[in-house]
A = this chain, B = another copy of it.
Amino acid sequence: MTTPLLLRAARGESVERPPIWLMRQAGRYMKVYRDLRDRYPSFRQRSEIPELAIEISLQPFRAFAPDGVILFSDILTPLPGIGIPFDIVESKGPIIDPPIRTFEQVQQLHSLEPEAACPFIRPILSTLRQEVGDRATVLGFAGAPWTLAAYAIEGKSSKDYIEIKTMAYREPELLHKFLNHLATAIADYLCYQIDCGAQVVQLFDSWAGQLSRQDYDTFAFPYQKQVVQQVKAVYPDVPIILYINGSAAVVDRMAATGADIVSLDWTVDIGTIRQQFPASVGLQGNLDPVMLFAPQPVLKERALGIIEAGRKGKYIFNLGHGVLQGTPEENVGFLFDLVKSLG
């Protein structure tokens, strides 16, 4: 069995063309997904019943044959396993009630026993590996400590992050204690995903881009680094990708976490970033997801421009954020075909 393209690229081997997968490549923009969702309206069902999560993870694989297949899940999935239950309300997002606000609540959290807490992970990932064989790389993922803490402390999606930032300024030791607990649990969770078959893992710190540089360095960076180090200590050869949305002000710090690949949002010029990093630092990205609504010649020109700049070093093609609801499926197919046609 040969090593699949994305894994070879992520390891820094020279490859025949850039690999491609798309964040949120499974989801509402696909008719097969919407049909399945009508039958299983609960997000937690869809992501935690192995047959459903496997089916959804494979929907884009069957439609577009991406080089990476990521398990269908949510960044909050491991939280109940440490004592923070949540629900996802369709079109409103996650709800954590009560939110985490006190020392006592953090004190009562327990460590993650992934096999017991997330028994669906092994059947999902091992089946995905069997299904895709060497035709694609199977990716696992987790949310980073700052972002998971933000959900848990705010209790829901937030615009301004007043609750978590106020905790950072008023009770920094409480927040550090919580972040440290999360970092350990997240690293354990990623190690478990790797043990179950994930060949590459991505850490999403979706909301760390809302921090001042000083707060990023105090409350986000050290815990990203802790997760990376803890995973690398067990699986030194498994590539780790770090994604932050709105990361332009901290992108220079992302590689310093020890992550192998920095996943860029669409606001930064990838050519400029490529020059700032040594060639050994991998980049992933960074097409504006709205570009998938563009006419195909425009989409093609922009994608090729990004690829030309990106592939001057270790590189994986992706969007700068997840595929948007309403994205035309035929344009997603066009983009996959385009990248896969490159020599």
Contact = CB atoms under 8 A, between A and B. Distances in A.
A101 to B, nearest CB: 14
A294 B170 contact: yes
Interface string A209-233: 1111111000000000000000000
Given A169-B291, A169-B298, A267 B211 contact: yes
A324 B293 contact: no
A249 interface: yes
Contact of A267 (B160, B210, B268): B210
Copies of this protein in the complex: 2
A288 interface: yes
A290 B326 contact: no
Interface string A4-34: 0000000000000000000000000000000
Contacts of A256: none
Nearest to A159: B324
Interface in A157-198: 160-162, 165-166, 169-170
A266 interface: yes
Interface of A: 160-162, 165-166, 169-170, 209-215, 246, 248-250, 266-269, 288-291, 293-295, 298-299, 302, 305, 320, 324, 326
5 contacts: A165-B293, A169-B290, A169-B293, A212-B288, A214-B269
